[in-house]
Structure formats: structure tokens, C-alpha cells
Amino acid sequence: MSNPQITLVFATNNQNKVKEIRTILTDPFEIITLTEAGIDIDIPEPHDSLEANASEKSQTIYRLVAKNCFSEDTGLEVEALNGEPGVKSARYAGEGRDFQDNINKLLSNLVNETNRKARFRTVVSLIWEEKEYLFEGICEGHITEDQKGLEGFGYDPVFIPDGATMSFAQMTMEEKNSFSHRKKAIAKLVSFLKNKLHE
């Protein structure tokens, strides 16, 4: 007999994240997007930690759908900038600015800086049978001097993970997944749920 499907609503409006998560969470997982769940809201990210924002997003969606769901919040933490942009990664260059504005601000804040160490940190909040669980994934690496590659999203063109020579934006999705913060956090969620289902 085949394993039952595990259906989870993914609390995000970011289609890049949906695309990535769908390459990670494959069978027996079935991912329902907010659009597919008939939900059209701007999910708030008002807090000053990834954990609190991830939690707010999954709780908000759980209140609306009352189904098992998860969210994630990710930040780029740059050592020479004391961990910035961190939880403010999406709005680093200001409200309403785009990925390119954020990259421009980051590179200009790092001009003449020799310490380029940085990491992506993802926190996943899962609500499973009414209880919340958090999972973390970290990818260490460094910030390039110039943008490289056209794939991916966000800061991908300026981030090279440790152990690679290409930026995330020069990699295929599978190559990015082999290093990525998001993949590591989701792998923890997968093994948690597999254990739960075998309890």
C-alpha cells in the first residue's frame, strides 16, 4: 500500500518560494498555495525576529484555513554589517523597493570591506494538528563584489555558498537546493513529520 498524502498549506505569496519548496517537498507531500486555498491577503511580518515573523504568518493562515500549514521567514545576515539586513532583508532599501535596490544598497555598504562573510538563515513554522513547531536552516557563504547569474531571486546573484564557486543565481534549482538554508529547514520538517506519522 502506498503512503498517504500529507497536505500542507504554504503561507506565502512569494511565487519564487513556492517554486523552490515544490522541488523540495515532493511526494508524499502535497503543497497548497494561498491562491489555491482561496486566500488573498498580505501576510504581516511586523516583528524583529525571523522566528516571530514565521510564527505570525503560519498562525494567521491557520486561523483562516484551520488546516495543517507552514510558513517560512528568511534573512541574509552579513557579518561586517552586524547581521544586517537580517529580518529586514525584504525591505532593506525601503518599503516598495525591489530586489535590485536591496542588492545595490548591500554592495554599496560593503564597498572596500574585505570581510564578506554572510549567511542565509531560514526559520520554518509548522502548524501540525494545532501545535506549532519551528525548524531552522543555515547556509554559510560570502557576498561577491559584483552580481553573477540570472536565476533565482532576492540576493541570489551576490551570494556564493561555502564549498561552491558559483553564486546561487548561477545554479540550477537542484544545485541551489544542495546548499540552501530553505532546503535544510524543510529537511528537518520532513523528518519530523515522517517520525510523527510512524509514531
Q: Which residues bind ligand IMP (CB under 6 A)?
A: 14, 45, 73-74, 76, 89-90, 99, 102, 120, 152-156, 168, 182
For residues 65 and 25, what is the distance between their CA atoms, to the nearest angstrom? 20
First to last CA, the chain: 18
- 8 Å CB contact between 106 and 78: yes
- Shortest spacing between CB 12 and ligand IMP, in angstroms: 7
Catalytic entry in 73, 101, 156, 162: 73
Chain position whose Cβ is nearest to ligand IMP: 154
Asked if 73 is an active-site residue, the reply is yes
User: CA 99 to CA 14: how far, in whole Å?
Assistant: 13
143 vs 12: CA distance, rounded Å:
26
The distance of closest approach from Cβ of residue 181 to ligand IMP in the complex, given in angstroms and rounded to an integer, is: 7
CB of 136 to ligand IMP, least distance (A): 13
Of 16 and 26, nearer to ligand IMP (C-beta) is: 16
Q: How far is the CB of 152 from ligand IMP (least distance, A)?
A: 6
Strand ranges, E, within 79-183: 85-86, 117-128, 131-143, 159-161
Q: Helices (DSSP H) in 38-86: which residue ranges?
A: 50-65
DSSP class of residue 67 equals: S
Indicate the residue among 28 and 188 with the shorter CB distance to ligand IMP.
188
Nearest to ligand IMP of 40, 42 (CB atom): 42
Torsion (CA) 44, 45, 51, 57 in degrees, nearest 10 = 20
* CA-wise closest residue to 56 among 67, 80, 72: 72
Q: Which residue, 19 or 194, is less far from ligand IMP as judged by CB?
A: 19
Which residue numbers are catalytic?
73
